Every structure is written in C-alpha cells, then in structure tokens.
Structure 1
Amino acid sequence: MKKTLMYAVVAAVCFSCSNQTENQEAQATQNAEATEALNPTLTKIWETDSIMTTSESTLYDKASNLIYVSNISGNSSEKNGKGFIATMKPDGSISELNWLTGLNAPKGMALLNGKLYVTDIDELVEIDVASKKVSNRYPVQDAVFLNDAATNGRSIYFSDSRTGRVHALENGAVTLIAEGLENINGLAFNEEGQLYLLDGAGLHRYIMADKNTEPVNEVVKGGDGLVILNDSTFIASRWDGEIYFISNGKEHLMLDTKSEGANTADIDYIEAENLVLVPTFRNNRVVAYKLSY
C-alpha cells in the first residue's frame, strides 16, 4: 500500500514537471513569435549639422525638456581640455552649443538632484545644472576609460571599459560595484532599480546580492548605449553603426549606418515622442529616429 502511494506521488510529480517544461517551452516559442510580429522600425525625423564634434552620448532630461550631448572633440583617451557639453531641444534645434566647456573626453551622463554627472577618462565630473559650473570632481583609482553612466535615483553608477569594472558614487565616495566584465559599457536601471548592462558577452541583468550576471541576449555583444522600454524590451546600440531592438531575449536589427560612416554611440530615448537619440561620434551629428513597433 505504501509503495503504491509512493509510485503515485512520483508519477504525479513527474507529470507536473513535464507539464511545467512544456509550458515553459510553449511560452518561449510564443515570446519569439511575438517579437517577430512586432517588426520594430526606425524612421529618421531630424539630424543636426556637423557641429557636434565627436558626439558620444545623449541624455534627455524630461524636467527641462532638453537633450544633453557630450562631445569629446578629439581623442577619446586624451586630456586636451577641448571636450564640451551641448544642449538641444527635442525638435532638433540647438539650445546652447557650448553649455559647458573645458572637459577632456566626456562620455556617459546621468542626472541626479540637480547635478549632471559626466565620465571624463579617469574621473567623474559633477556639474551644477543651475549655475552651469563644475561643482566637484571624483577621481577614480586605477581608472583607464570611464564610459557610460546611469542612476537608480540614489547613486550614480558608471563603467570603465578598459578595466572591466563598474563603480558607484554613493554619499560622496566612489566604490567598486563589479569587476571582470570584459568591455563593459552601457548601463541602465529599470523602474524597480534593477541594473542591466552591455559588455563583450551581450546584454545582462546584474544581480547585486551575489554579484552575478544573468544573460538576456548573447548576440548583441560589445554594445554601447542601452535603453529599457520595459522589463523584457530594450534598445541597444553598437558603436560601429548598429541599433537593435531586443524583446524577450530575441534581437532585431533596426538600423545599420556603417556604410555611411556614421557611428551609433551612447543613445537615449524620449518616451513621449518615441524618439531614439543617436550621437554619431565621427560623423559629428545627433540624429533622431522615430521608433515604431
């Protein structure tokens, strides 16, 4: 009697596991089909003249309705004092070309509590938005090539592509968050404060608790800019001229500008207008594309 009961339980468990596996496989198939059915596209809306010298990053500020553009103006690793930040309007017009000057090779940007934070080779520069002046500089020990920046609403996180590290500025001090991430670049937080990143292995979710990564997509490797549309949908750029739509782990190439000699660096997104903002680096422009899906 006991053996009969045991066999029945085992059979029930196996049946449950089988159903669960089948359900997961069916869901994965549905997700892939749904992504293909979306057919996401990008349509050019406007572009600037070639006045953005080595434009690397765009950042839209909803509060001021302005777009910040970081301009390297030379070698991306050289301390030449020629780097600057420009501001634009969402219609493509220039608000202030030389909003702030005197930087070296500014790249990723993030806004927090009235301050614009910019990565600048081996330091994080804090700019007071109201006064348009540098209010602080945070040197990063052993930094080589600080790149993207993002915020969770409390702290500033930023990557170093050459050392494979992610740092954070917390309570006025720089701390090491993660390391061993080859070619780490793009960072973005979702609304729940979960960190996603682009590195040489693809798009990953970073788990703070155990300092591990969970793969989302392993095809779009060496990505640059990252935008999160929702927990399963992303836009990712690769610097050499590609922009991908990633949904439920499946990628779709929306834009390829390599033949035009235009890069697609650290992108951003204006949700209200479905506009993808693309700094073209060597092409010295910012281009806006309408996203449809």
Structure 2
Amino acid sequence: MHKSYGIISVFAVVASLFPGPAHAGPAREVWKVSGFKTPESALYDKAHQRLIVSNINGAPDAVDGNGFLSLVSLDGQIIQMDWASGFDAPKGMAIVGNKLFISDITKLRVVDLDTGKIIETLAAEKAVFLNDVTASANGDVFVTDMLADRIYRYSGGKIDLWLESAGLGAPNGIIADGNRLIVGSWGKGVHPDFTTDKPGGLLEVDMATKAVTPFPQATAFANVDGIVVLARSIYLSDPLKGALYRVVAGQAPQLVAQFKPGDVDIGSDDETLYVPMMNEGELFALKINALN
C-alpha cells in the first residue's frame, strides 16, 4: 500500500530546490490569509456567501481525528478557523442542498451546512485513498479513489463503487460538467512519495456509458489535483510543480500562474479563483480575468 504522508515532504523538497514566489504576483492576488493546518481544498458556498477550507492537519492518510474545516469570508477574513471537527484527513468537498460532502481517507462524511455538525459517515467499501468530490445536477455525489483507480457514487443514501478502470490513471480531481465528469489523472506509476513515472492529464467520463476519454492535447503534462470549470476554460493545479494551467478544448494547456509546490484543490466563484497552499498553510484569491 502507498504511504501517502510522503506527498507533503516531496512538496517541501521541491519547494526548497525551486523556491520561487508563493503566489502569482500582486497584479493577480486579491487577498491572502494564513494560519491553516495543511489546507487541502477550498470550496465556494454560494448559499452562505463564504468559503469552506478543509484542513488535513497531519498526514493525509492518518486516522488521527485531527482534521477540521474552516470558514472564510469572500474578502479573506477568517470567520471561524475550527468550524467543523471530527475528521481524520478531510480533502475534497461538494455541496448538495444544505449538505456538505467531504472525503476522509476511506469514508464520505456528510455535514449540516448550518451547524457544521457531522450528520452521517459512510464507509466506501475497499476504498484506499478517497480524494476529490463533486456533485452532479441531479444530486448524485462522485468521489475519486486516487490509489485504486476508482470513482465511487453516493446516490439514494448509499455510496457504491461506480467505476474502476486503469484508464483513470490515479484519479485525483473531479468535477461534474453537464452529462460528463472531468477527471484529473495524477499519472502512471505512483511512487510512495507521490511522484510518478509519467504525469497525468485530463479525462472525460461519460455519465451514461462510463466511457473514459482523454482530452485531446491535455495528456501526460501534469500531476492534476484541483479542477475548476469556468465558461469554456478549465483551470487545474499541479502541486508537484506549483503550476496552475488553463485548458481550452482543442488547445494545448497554458501555464497561467506559478507558485511554490503545494497548490492543491482549487475552488472558484464566477470571478475569483481560490488556491490553498498546503505547505504554507495559506489560502489566497486570484482574479480570474488576470489569468487569461
């Protein structure tokens, strides 16, 4: 079994070799806030006009009860650092109605958005390392299992294995887009420190047929983590390189921002991109129109 604690140390090693700026520059940065504990994901909560940040607060595979969720205002102020607790290593998140779904190693947690209380915990059978979460238009919730080449689906109150395919290439990021899932492959040949023999890229999974199709011109270029879809653009992060890419259908990926390694599961509203920096314990906001 892979020992996932190596991912943080490898980010740190790469950052020391290529220090670079922690952010993309003042022309693009709207704000920055610090004090998080291994922040992994940032999610825009439209109904409550706030951001939710998942804090691993330890090793990404440790069942230690240290994980928690933070609330941040849209202007970069901490509303509540420890808003929801009782997690081990919370990562990706998605909202359906007034429920927040969070991946937590081998479990899917469900939180009440009003109270921050965990109201349900569902074990994903044979899961190894659940990572990102997304919700489709009909309320189904999809969860990647990065180290098992799987996608699970929560529907009708149950979580079941939905797709298992080597073609997923260690699926990390995932986002529902109409009748398809856009999946970010971490790559082939994942080592214990999370480096890979071959980097991944973007995939499309048809929700009806479950067919897996690589994006033209967007394969084998990045260890893909967070994914955001805005208009006709897809933004994705590569935390091993500290890179932020923009992908437009039929075109080669474009590097639009460079960070220190550790830019993980990005989130967005219509105007702003939110970037958690795992090593620095920071979250910052970028103007999307400055990236294009």
TM-score using structure 2 length: 0.80
- Aligned pair in 2 of structure 1 residues 212, 42: CA closer, same or farther (>3 Å)? farther
Question: Does 1:196 pair with 2:182?
Answer: yes
Amino acid at match of 1:255: A
Question: Does 1:284 pair with 2:281?
Answer: yes
The answer (yes or no) to whether the contact 1:219–1:251 under 8 Å persists in 2 is no
SS at match of 1:126: strand
Match of 2:170 among 183, 191, 207: 183
Aligned positions, number: 245
Question: Does 1:56 pair with 2:40?
Answer: yes
Question: Does 1:245 pair with 2:246?
Answer: yes
Q: Which has more helix, going by share of residues?
A: 1
Listed as ranges, the matches of 1:108-187 within 5 Å are 108-153=92-137, 154-180=139-165, 181-187=168-174
Larger C-alpha radius of gyration, 1 or 2?
1
Match of 1:69 among 29, 49, 53: 53
- Alignment correspondent of 1:80: 64
TM-score using structure 1 length: 0.80
Query: By how many angstroms is 1:267 displaced?
Result: 0.1
Query: By how many angstroms is 1:221 displaced?
Result: 3.0
The answer (yes or no) to whether the contact 2:125–2:160 under 8 Å persists in 1 is no
Deviations 1:257-283 (A, max 9, x none): 13xxx5110001120xx2110010111
Partners of 1:275 and 1:233 in 2: CA distance: 14
Question: Does 1:275 pair with 2:272?
Answer: yes
Q: CA RMSD in A?
A: 1.5
Percentage of identical aligned residues = 29
Query: By how many angstroms is 1:219 displaced?
Result: 4.3
Deviations 1:130-161 (A, max 9, x none): 22211100001111110000001311101010
The answer (yes or no) to whether the contact 2:182–2:204 under 8 Å persists in 1 is yes
Listed as ranges, the matches of 1:219-258 within 5 Å are 219-230=220-231, 232-240=232-240, 241-248=242-249, 249-258=251-260
- Aligned pair in 2 of structure 1 residues 42, 103: CA closer, same or farther (>3 Å)? farther
Query: By how many angstroms is 1:42 displaced?
Result: 7.5
Query: By how many angstroms is 1:117 displaced?
Result: 0.6
The answer (yes or no) to whether the contact 2:103–2:130 under 8 Å persists in 1 is yes
Partners of 2:221 and 2:51 in 1: CA distance: 26
The answer (yes or no) to whether the contact 1:265–1:281 under 8 Å persists in 2 is yes
Listed as ranges, the matches of 1:1-12 within 5 Å are none
The answer (yes or no) to whether the contact 1:42–1:254 under 8 Å persists in 2 is no
Partners of 1:264 and 1:123 in 2: CA distance: 24
The answer (yes or no) to whether the contact 2:247–2:253 under 8 Å persists in 1 is yes
Amino acid at match of 1:99: W
The answer (yes or no) to whether the contact 2:140–2:155 under 8 Å persists in 1 is yes
SS at match of 1:68: strand
Partners of 1:103 and 1:176 in 2: CA distance: 22
**Runs of 4+ residues over 6 Å off in structure 1:** none
Partners of 1:128 and 1:197 in 2: CA distance: 27
Partners of 1:243 and 1:53 in 2: CA distance: 22
Give unmatched runs, 5+ long, in structure 2: 1-25, 188-199
Partners of 2:219 and 2:230 in 1: CA distance: 19
Query: By how many angstroms is 1:247 displaced?
Result: 1.1
Give unmatched runs, 5+ long, in structure 1: 1-40
Amino acid at match of 2:71: T
